[in-house]
Amino acid sequence: MNIPIAAAIIIGFALGLITAVVAGVATMRSSMIVPELSSKSFDATCAAIEEVVPGTEGWSFPMESLDMSAKLAAKNSLPENVMKIRLYFMCNPAVAKTVLGANPKLSAIMPCSWSVYELADGSVWVSHMNIGMMAKMMGGVVGESMGGVAKDDERFLQQVLH
């Protein structure tokens, strides 16, 4: 049975498109949240964040950090492989104004958050959203603003982790 050339082209295009979508989703899932290994202890990493972020023009903590490990432990729900977790919430109000002015629904992912966690093996990690990837996905004014946030994030991380 011969498949007409037009049908073969359509089937090939559809399979290629499906493959590209599956690969794109897999890449985004694995790249959306980025864990970074800290060379410092848990407490020193937290102290570095608390020093670096408010020391950068425009950036602050709009709320206190959250001791997530204490909250989970109080409910007997702290995973055995996790010793400590602290969440930080960071904001640059001028950037927030621009982003929310263009797209208020993005308030669901604001302020920027980082987690610092220590695993049972003693390793300390800082986990954060891949703002650079999000900036590329958003484009326009929001993408441009988030691109600036991604650059600030990178500077913060260099100072915090090393």
On whether both 48 and 83 belong to a single domain, the answer is yes
On whether both 8 and 50 belong to a single domain, the answer is no
On whether both 85 and 145 belong to a single domain, the answer is yes
The pLDDT of residue 162 is 86
Mean pLDDT per 10-residue run, the chain (162 residues)? 73 74 61 93 97 91 96 97 97 95 92 96 97 88 93 93 89
On whether both 137 and 73 belong to a single domain, the answer is yes
The pLDDT of residue 1 is 56
The pLDDT of residue 46 is 98
Please give the residue range of the domain that contains residue 15: 1-31
On whether both 64 and 5 belong to a single domain, the answer is no
On whether both 12 and 38 belong to a single domain, the answer is no
The pLDDT of residue 22 is 65
Residues 6+ apart with CB under 8 A from 5: none
On whether both 108 and 85 belong to a single domain, the answer is yes
The pLDDT of residue 8 is 73
Within 10 angstroms of residue 118's Cβ, the number of other Cβ atoms is 20
- CA-wise closest residue to 145 among 131, 130, 158: 131
On whether both 115 and 138 belong to a single domain, the answer is yes
The pLDDT of residue 87 is 98
Number of domains in the chain: 2
The pLDDT of residue 153 is 92
On whether both 59 and 41 belong to a single domain, the answer is yes
Token pair of 153, please? Answer: 């994030």
